[in-house]
Chains A and B, each alone.
Chain A
Amino acid sequence: MQSFRGVPRGNVVELNRVYVAYAGSDKPAIIDISLKIPMKKLVLITGPNGAGKTTLIETCLGLLKPFKGKVFLLGVDTRKREVIKARKMCSYVPQDFMKPPYEAFSVKHIILMGFSSYKAPFEPLNREEREKIVWAANLLGIEDLLDKPIGILSGGQQQKVLIARAFARKPKILFLDEPFASLDKESRIFLAEMFRKYVDSEGATVFIVSHDVNPIVAYADITVELSNGRIRRVEEC
């Protein structure tokens, strides 16, 4: 597989017989997972609570290291330090995104933090990045919230802020953990369509973890169903 520097030709994510366990736990959270995901795909990862969905995408990102097997993100072994550079081409929206009411970072500041990994010391934001912030905020319909502190926003609004941050980075791979959890039905359908458009227009790969398949299953290219840490079914749509 080629390196992360160019546009990847092969699989953007590859797992070979991967086992991951949390420290202090006797039971692996994911067991013997093998998966190859190419570019330009919308991947739905589904399954009941405790199936290992979040563990799987955090393993793909290299945030969790396998105790057995190998994981490659954009061709880079996630055990190697170079994975930090590969992650710069990825965005992530975590499941536990809620911040307490006293968290005072403004929405604009949180979106601009998304550019920090590309920045050299003392380097300010450029015009293109400022435009991307406004573009992403408009896309998610949160342009009126840009100067507000994140802590005072509702769960749905906070989730939209993180999705806007993820889009503003224009990633090659987008990992979203339960992105519909705090949203109303209209927003869910709107977002599902937006993820599909992003895959088609940018040639990116989007991973969506969702225990509820309804909002996204019609748009997905690949559905991975997990159960008790194992892959139960992989379906190409």
Chain B
Amino acid sequence: MLGLFSLAFLAAILAGCLCGAIGFHIQRFNVITLSFSIAHAALAGASLGLLFNFDSTYSAMIAAFLSALILGLFFIRVEYERELISMAVFSASSAIALLSIYMSTTRVLATASVAVVLWGSLLAVTLQKLIILLVVTVLFLFHIFAFRMHIDAILYDRKLAEAEGIDVQFHTLVLLLFTGVAIASTLKLTGGFLVFTLLYNPMASASQLVKNARNQLILSSLLGSSSAVLGLVISYILNMPVGATIAITSSIILLVSFMARLVSEKFKVKEISKIML
């Protein structure tokens, strides 16, 4: 049987890899605000799970899945007001999350459970949750390999892909559903308020370092896994909330990537100047 740390270690690798890969697609499909709303809907679902004494991973998954379905089916084509609708979902979800947490702490004194939902815990990873994360990762990889040509066409030019008869709305909806399920599966490791750092920071770092889309996808997954594992180890050594240490680690990686890009650009300018002289 795997020990607690081994379970958390494997979950960190999978969660980082999955969120890094999904984050790449979220950014290139231009659905960042929608995914942000889905992340908060998952938090609201997890908090409602606490309030009604239901496993918060599953309640988060239901809420994230439903919000992804609603946003993907009804609002994906509404470009003008999409951001506003996303922010409305975000505000409402945050309010539900905070109210549920407030009510659950005052009524049932479930402080430890609340802490897991808010900033994550090593102890929250069970074999069952690890298997769910593994299944979601395998399904997502299967999807992006199966529809590689369709997805590449959308990544290159969304409007052109749509004009040529690719079902862009379907692929966007599937991406949002995977986003919802991935967030819900990762929520207990990183915590509800920090789960999106694993979605956005690895992709942001990868885009600083490489420009090729395929390399960005691979690097984003690797950096996601590295951030999650490093954050986990730091959390274990310093006895700090795991979600916060993962978020800080991924933010430091982003800062270093940004500085590396600046240095590399300066070096290139110097080289060009030398050639010109």
Q: Give me the interface of A with B, judged by CB distance under 8 Å.
A: 22-24, 61, 63, 84-92, 94, 97, 99, 102-105, 109-110, 112-117, 119, 121-122, 151, 162, 169, 175
Residues from chain B with a CB closer than 8 A to the CB of A97 are: 157
A84/B165 contact (C-beta < 8 A), A113-B149, A116-B152, A116-B153 known: yes
How distant is the Cα of A94 from the Cα of B152 in the complex, in angstroms?
A: 18
Confirm or deny: B212 has a beta carbon within 8 angstroms of a beta carbon on chain A: yes
Q: From B149, B160, B167, give the contact of A92 (CB < 8 A).
A: B160
Given that A119-B150, A121-B147 are known contacts, is A63 also in contact with B164, CB under 8 Å in the complex?
A: no
Q: Residues of A contacting B164 with CB < 8 Å? A: 87-88, 90-92, 114, 116-117, 169
A183 to B65, CA, bound (A): 48
Measured in the bound complex, the distance between the Cα atoms of B157 and A102 in whole Å is 15
Interchain CB contact under 8 A, B152 and A117 = no
Q: Point out the residues of chain A lying under 8 angstroms from B167, CB to CB.
A: 84
Is the beta-carbon distance between B152 and A90 smaller than 8 angstroms? Answer: no
> Beyond A104-B213, A121-B147, is A113–B163 a contact (Cβ under 8 Å)?
no
Report if B66 contacts A (CB, 8 A): no
A90 touches B146 (CB 8 A): no
Closest B residue to A124 by CB, please name it: B149
B80 to chain A, nearest CB (A): 3
**Extra contacts besides A87-B165, A90-B165 (8): CB < 8 Å:** A84-B165, A88-B164, A91-B164, A92-B164, A94-B163, A99-B156, A104-B211, A115-B149
The answer to whether B152 touches A23, judged by C-beta atoms less than 8 angstroms apart, is no
Name the one of B80, B157, B166, B211 contacting A23, with C-beta atoms under 8 angstroms. Answer: B80
B159 part of interface (Cβ distance < 8 Å): yes
B150 to A116, Cβ gap below 8 A?
A: yes
Contact B146 A122 (CB under 8 A): yes
* Given A113-B149, A116-B153, also A23-B163 (CB < 8 A): no
Cross-chain contact B152 with A24 (CB below 8 angstroms): no
Contacts of B80 in A (CB 8 A): 22-24
Known contacts A104-B213, A116-B166; A63/B159 CB under 8 A? yes
5 contacts between A and B (CB under 8 A): A63-B163, A92-B160, A104-B212, A114-B153, A121-B146
The reply to whether the CB of B271 lies closer than 8 angstroms to some CB of chain A is: no
| Chain B residues near A109 (CB-CB < 8 A) | 152
- How many B residues touch A, CB cutoff 8 Å? 26
Is B236 interfacial (CB 8 A cutoff)? no
A95 shortest CB reach to chain B, Å = 10
A110 near B156: Cβ-Cβ < 8 Å: yes
In the complex, the answer to whether B162 meets A113 with C-beta atoms within 8 Å is no
A105-B152, A113-B153, A117-B150 known; A23 vs B165 contact (CB < 8 Å): no
* Distance from B209 Cβ to chain A, minimum over Cβ atoms (Å): 12
Please tell me if the beta carbons of B165 and A88 are within 8 angstroms of each other in the complex. yes
B145 at the interface (CB under 8 A from A): yes
Q: Which residue in B145, B156, B159 is a CB contact (below 8 Å) of A122?
A: B145
- A residues within 8 A CB of B81? 23
- Check: B276 CB closer than 8 A to any chain A CB: no
> A123 to nearest B CB, angstroms?
8
**Which residue of the partner chain A has the closest CB to B155?**
A105
Separation in Å of the A39 CB from the closest CB of chain B?
A: 19
Q: Is the CB of B160 within 8 A of A94?
A: yes
- Complex interface: chain B residues within 8 A of A103 (CB): 156, 211
List 3 tightest A-B contacts by C-beta distance, closest first. Answer: A23-B80, A88-B165, A121-B146
Are the C-beta atoms of A105 and B156 separated by less than 8 Å?
A: yes
Known A-B contacts A23-B78, A105-B156, A110-B156; A116 and B149 likewise in contact (beta carbons under 8 Å): yes
Residues of A within 8 A of B156 (CB): 99, 103, 105, 110, 113
**Bitwise interface map of B from 156 to 198 toward A, beta carbon under 8 Å scored 1, else 0:** 1101111111110000000000000000000000000000000
